């Protein structure tokens, strides 16, 4: 029979130390063992939920969180945490209920999350009530500053001032530091991002460590500080995301021996996502290897295109809402080094509180098209089909280019699938103007890419819907026109 007595203090200290230092592989079995012997001791359940949350095992995190609030129903922060997991799982009504419990128990940080849940369900009147109550009753809370910054997001200077004001009241707060770090990065201010993230991480070694450390490693990589970036990544739990980032950094200037050692290690561990898929494609070409690809051996064979004009009123469902958004002058934009003569919106446009209502029909149509894509290829043995995500979120952004604009070669490292909807493609002066190119032009100059590489050119027009494995390298060709070329791009991101 299980005991409800207190666990030994030494074991609890060991567990807490392992968790705070990021040694999740050692902490998890110890926490599980403690919950079996001491099922009503809350710390072990909290640590299990934290490990599962940070490693994106959301159903398991939810079970542990629910056990926490069963033991202590007054734990407002964990009611809020349960709500955020429900949000990630797209269970908006359950999320709303959890956030309302947290608020009732006095957790002001749940207001912002409640707004997201209400917006997703198109409860606009409820959103206004919550916003007014939140601003009035929580003037100095962390969420107050996060919401204020979101409201002035298109004004970079005002948003930066709001974050700094919040950090003056809440020094080194992880949420505000991450938000300001993202804000700096979106403007290309990587030195400033490095400073704010490294300071906050030193002050909060265990809190939200994974997202903050990943962001700092990415920032260091952009700044060319590869060794420091790898050092931070090596502190994190070994999973496809962290190991994939480490290999990406190793491939920039590393030697063949260390690159292949990291690659084989990731393959042996069964890691499978678009990053390792793209890395294998690239290394097979560079080193003349013939490694099988656990994600997709030839993503060009799985590129699909359809014309939405044939099944939907494209003007009213797509063109008009997107143009209203672009004309609103309330968008935040990010620096995009691969984009010439164009602009790209910042953040996930499908999660922007004031955009959800405009885009709700577009998101539903995209999900329908994704279902159709899966049905077309469901008998394939490729890894990205066999391991099709049971749940996913859409992450979208808008790109508007003027004459001469183009987008350089890249792939989307966070996606499972990548896609694009062509809101406006100007009349073409040349056959391939503004077209989408999927290729295997790794480490090639333009002439080599044009003459030697395997590639397909997708002849896009207004209304085209393109979708392909996220490991596929792709770029767009330049065009000339008095009209803007407008695209809604998106990634399918698994929720595990």
What pLDDT, in 10s, does the model give residues 255-274? 899 999 989 999 998 889 99
d(CA 98, CA 410): 39
User: Does 41 fall in a domain?
Assistant: no
What pLDDT, in 10s, does the model give residues 353-374? 556 567 888 998 999 999 999 9
User: Does 77 fall in a domain?
Assistant: no
Burial per residue of 348-376, b for 16 or more beta-carbon CB atoms within 10 angstroms, e otherwise: bbbbbbebbebbbebbebbeebbeebeee
CA distances for 294 relative to 267, 268, 381, angstroms: 8, 11, 10
Residue 352 above 90 pLDDT?
no
Domain termination site, one of 194, 211, 228: 211
User: If you average pLDDT over residues 209-215, what whole number do you get?
Assistant: 84
Q: Are residues 176 and 309 in the same domain?
A: no
Percent of the chain, pLDDT > 90?
50
125: nearest Cα among 414, 288, 357, 312: 357
Domain termination site, one of 211, 230, 258: 211
Whether 308 and 365 have beta carbons less than 8 Å apart is answered as: yes
Q: Are strands 436-439 and 392-407 parallel, antiparallel or unpaired?
A: unpaired
The residue behind tokens 């043995």 is 381
Domain termination site, one of 185, 211, 237: 211
Q: Which CATH number do you get for residue 357?
A: 2.60.120.620
The count of domains in the chain is 2
The predicted pLDDT at position 377 comes to 97
Whether 44 and 59 have beta carbons less than 8 Å apart is answered as: no
The predicted pLDDT at position 141 comes to 74
Range of the domain at 145: 139-211
Backbone angles phi, psi at 409, to 5 degrees: -65, 135
Helix (H, G, I), strand (E, B) or coil at 235: coil
Q: Are residues 343 and 457 in the same domain?
A: yes
What does DSSP assign to residue 50?
H
Q: Are residues 305 and 163 in the same domain?
A: no
User: Does 390 fall in a domain?
Assistant: yes
Q: Are residues 309 and 450 in the same domain?
A: yes
Q: Which CATH number do you get for residue 184?
A: 1.25.40.10
User: Does 93 fall in a domain?
Assistant: no
Burial class (CB in 10 A: 0-12, 13-18, 19+), 48: buried
Q: Are residues 324 and 462 in the same domain?
A: yes
pTM for the predicted model, two decimal places: 0.73
User: If you average pLDDT over residues 136-165, what whole number do you get?
Assistant: 75
Whether 440 and 474 have beta carbons less than 8 Å apart is answered as: no
Q: Are residues 195 and 313 in the same domain?
A: no
Percent of the chain, pLDDT > 70?
92
Q: What does the block give as tokens for 473?
A: 């390298």
CA distances for 81 relative to 18, 86, 134, 345, angstroms: 22, 9, 19, 28
Least-confidence region, from 124-133, 210-219, 399-408: 124-133
d(CA 371, CA 367): 6
User: Does 49 fall in a domain?
Assistant: no
Q: Are residues 317 and 199 in the same domain?
A: no
User: Does 115 fall in a domain?
Assistant: no
What pLDDT, in 10s, does the model give residues 99-141? 999 988 988 778 778 887 887 777 767 777 776 666 666 667 7
User: Does 416 fall in a domain?
Assistant: yes
What does DSSP assign to residue 407?
E
User: Does 94 fall in a domain?
Assistant: no
Q: What does the block give as tokens for 227?
A: 């060794």
The residue behind tokens 């898929």 is 277
Q: Are residues 304 and 400 in the same domain?
A: yes
Question: How many other CB atoms are there within 10 angstroms of residue 245's CB atom?
Answer: 21
Q: Are residues 471 and 326 in the same domain?
A: yes
């Amino acid at each position: 029979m299980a005991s409800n007595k207190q666990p030994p203090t030494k074991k609890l200290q060991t567990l807490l130390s392992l968790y705070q230092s990021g040694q999740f592989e050692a902490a998890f079995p110890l926490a599980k063992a403690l919950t079996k012997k001491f099922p009503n001791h809350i710390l072990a359940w909290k640590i299990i939920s934290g490990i599962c949350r940070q490693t994106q095992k959301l159903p398991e995190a939810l079970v542990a969180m629910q056990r926490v609030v069963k033991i202590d129903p007054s734990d407002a922060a964990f009611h809020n945490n349960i709500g955020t997991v429900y949000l990630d799982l797209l269970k908006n009504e359950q999320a709303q209920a959890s956030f309302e419990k947290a608020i009732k128990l006095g957790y002001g940080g749940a207001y912002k999350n409640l707004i997201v849940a209400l917006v997703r369900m198109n409860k606009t009147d409820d959103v206004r009530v919550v916003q007014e109550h939140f601003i009035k009753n929580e003037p100095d809370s962390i969420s107050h500053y996060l919401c204020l910054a979101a409201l002035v997001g298109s004004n970079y200077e005002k948003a930066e001032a709001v974050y700094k004001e919040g950090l003056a009241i809440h020094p080194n707060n992880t949420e505000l530091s991450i938000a300001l770090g993202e804000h700096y990065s979106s403007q290309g201010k990587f030195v400033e991002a490095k400073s704010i993230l490294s300071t906050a991480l030193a002050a909060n070694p265990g809190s939200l460590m994974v997202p903050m450390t990943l962001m700092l490693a990415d920032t260091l990589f952009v700044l060319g500080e590869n060794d420091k970036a790898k050092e931070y990544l090596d502190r994190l739990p070994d999973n496809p995301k962290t190991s994939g980032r480490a290999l990406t950094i190793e491939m920039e200037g590393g030697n063949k021996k260390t690159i292949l050692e990291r690659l084989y290690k990731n393959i042996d561990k069964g890691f499978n996502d678009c990053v390792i898929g793209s890395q294998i494609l690239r290394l097979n070409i560079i080193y003349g290897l013939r490694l099988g690809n656990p994600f997709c051996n030839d993503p060009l064979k799985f590129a699909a295109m359809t014309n939405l004009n044939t099944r939907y009123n494209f003007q009213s469902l797509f063109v008009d809402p997107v143009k209203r958004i672009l004309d609103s002058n309330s968008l935040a934009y990010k620096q995009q080094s691969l984009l010439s003569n164009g602009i790209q919106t910042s953040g996930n446009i499908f999660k922007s509180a004031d955009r959800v209502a405009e885009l709700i029909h577009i998101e539903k149509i995209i999900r329908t098209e994704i279902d159709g894509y899966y049905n077309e290829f469901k008998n394939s043995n490729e890894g990205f089909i066999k391991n099709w995500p049971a749940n996913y979120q859409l992450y979208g952004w808008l790109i508007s280019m003027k004459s001469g604009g183009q987008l350089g070669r890249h792939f989307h490292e966070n996606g499972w699938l990548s896609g694009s909807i062509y809101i406006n493609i100007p009349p073409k002066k040349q056959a391939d103007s503004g077209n989408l190119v999927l290729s295997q032009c790794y480490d090639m100059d333009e002439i080599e890419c044009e003459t030697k590489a395997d590639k397909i050119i997708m002849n896009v027009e207004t209304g085209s819907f393109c979708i392909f494995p996220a490991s596929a390298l792709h770029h767009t060709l330049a065009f000339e026109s008095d009209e803007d070329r407008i695209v809604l791009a998106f990634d399918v991101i698994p929720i595990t």
